[in-house]
Structure formats: C-alpha cells, structure tokens
Amino acid sequence: MIITDDFVVLNLPKTGSTFVRTVLKKVHQARLERRPISERLAQGLGLRKRPFFQELMLANIMVKSANGRPHQHGAWIQIPKAHRHKPIVSVMRNPYERLVSSYEFRWWVKVPPIPEEELRVHLPSFPDLTLSEFMQLRDLEVRHSRIPPVPPGTDVGLQTVQFIQMFFKDPFGILPVLDDDYLDSDRFLDDMAPVSFLRTEQLNADLHSFLLNNGFSGEEAGLVVEHEKVRVTERRNRDSAELWTDDIIHRVQRTERLLFRVLEQHGLTYEAPEVAGAGLSN
C-alpha cells in the first residue's frame, strides 16, 4: 500500500495497481523537486513538514503458501490506525477481464495455489488448463489456500473472497461463517470499509481526476495523463471470446454475485463478455 499526506492506496492484484504505484512515485518526486528554496529551507529547519509518502510492504495475511512474506497488496485492516481517517482508494477491473488476465499471466503455474497431490487428483492436466479448469483451480484455492478458508458448500468465487480480504473491516470474522444467505444479502453495506475505486478501463483519466481532487496541482496531476501502461500482461489468446462459454459466464455471475452487487453500489457495472460464434446463424 501507499500512504501519502492526503490519501491511502490499496493495491488489488491484476487491476493496474502497478501503474498507480509507478505514477504516484513520479508525481511525489516531481513535487519534491519543484519545491521553492524557501520551502526546502523551512523543511530543513523543521519549521514545515516534508511531503509524506510511504510505500508499505506488509505481511501477506491472505494466502497460506505466502507464510506471511511481505508483499505490496496490503489490506484495509493493515492500514496503520493513524491513517485510516484518510480517503482510501483502489483500482477495480472488470471481473471478467480480470479472470482472463489472471489465467493468461500464469503465475499459478510457477506458484500453484494448492498442493501437488491435490492438483493430481482434481486437475490431472495441470498446467495445461482450459479457462473452465482454471476456475476449478480457483475454487480449490478458496477452499484450501485462503486465510481463513470459507465453509464447505459456500458457492463463492475467488475474486469475492479477495475483495472481502482486501476491503472489509473484519474479514477474519466474516469468511469463516460466509454462507449463501450472506452472499445474497446487503449486509456488506455495513461490513465494507469506506473505499473509492478508480477504473482500470480509464485509469489515466480517473487517477488524474482523483489527484486534482486531493490536493495536487494541475501540473503534478498532468504527469498521469499521457503516462504509458506499466507491466501489461501479454495476451496468449488473440480473441478472449474464444475462451468464454455460456457455462463459464454463468459460473462467474453466480460465484461473484456479491462482488457484482458491491460494484453496482459504487456505480460500476460490467457487461458479460461475448462468446465466440454467438449470434451466428447457419
């Protein structure tokens, strides 16, 4: 996470958070370099506070295999209490696109999220998985690798579990008792921390507006507008429609139903992806 004088940034994986971190570091450095001499002298004498910017690498409290190793994806419950009053922002990506991006990034091949013996039993074709099989792998991760695991029989997807881990005020209290009644209710309105979201689809523009509204000058925020993308996952499939089937789409909609409702509350709605050959007549 990143903490500044004016706000806190939480980094949800595979959404564009690397771009945000990269740009904010450049904006902060530009602010330091453009300080007038009088301001620098006052800060050197302790008469004025230096602009605050801290990138925290915190223990991974979400995945068993991480063994608490530090990473950049700190959760809301890990924000130091002295900074929780500040506006908190993160980036949200179309859940369908985020699923495909995670599938094609293939980090799960290098670091399987479940033990090898489980892979042999449930997914013998690993690592040559279809998108449908990849979703099975993520279901197994929810059951066996997330901290804490959700109860057996709860029909919930990994993106929803990650979202609760990242942005809810008491994920360790909610996840062990998570059930379909909760997933189909609006109790999340009381349980989610106050977080606003930038959109991956127009991240430059959204980050630019956010900075302007949070104390940055037009010149400083202007560094965002034309900044190139950062660490883009190379597509293994030219047309993502070739990956999708109606069954997979319905599975995403079912298991991530809480996530979609939360996003709707924040004004974010996403259309289901097209399926290859859909609408074609003989």
Q: Please report, for the chain, the start and end positions of each structural domain, with discontinuous segments joined by +.
A: 2-265
The one-digit pLDDT tens for each residue of the chain (282 residues) are 999 999 999 999 999 888 999 999 999 888 877 776 766 666 666 656 767 899 999 999 999 887 778 988 999 999 999 999 999 999 999 999 999 999 999 999 998 999 999 999 999 999 999 999 999 999 999 988 999 999 988 999 999 999 999 999 999 999 999 999 999 999 999 999 999 999 999 999 999 999 999 888 888 889 888 787 776 555 555 567 789 999 999 999 999 999 999 999 999 999 999 997 765 544
Report the pLDDT value the prediction gives residue 67, as an integer from 0 to 100. 79
Length of the chain counted residue by residue: 282
Q: What own/partner pairs with CB < 8 Å and gap ≥ 24 does 155-160 have?
A: 155/180, 155/183, 155/254, 155/255, 156/183, 156/255, 156/258, 157/252, 157/255, 157/256, 157/259, 159/95, 159/98, 159/99, 159/256, 159/259, 160/255, 160/256, 160/257, 160/258, 160/259
pLDDT value, residue 196: 96
Fold of 2-265: Rossmann fold (3.40.50)
Count other Cβ atoms within 10 Å, centred on residue 173: 11
Helices in 168-215 by DSSP H: which ranges? 171-174, 180-183, 188-191, 203-212
pLDDT for 65: 81
Q: Whole-model pTM?
A: 0.89
pLDDT at 238: 53
pLDDT value at residue 29: 86
* Assigned token pair, 248: 């997979």
**Token pair recorded at residue 258:** 């809480």
For residue 126, report the phi and psi dihedrals to the nearest 5 degrees.
Answer: -55, 135
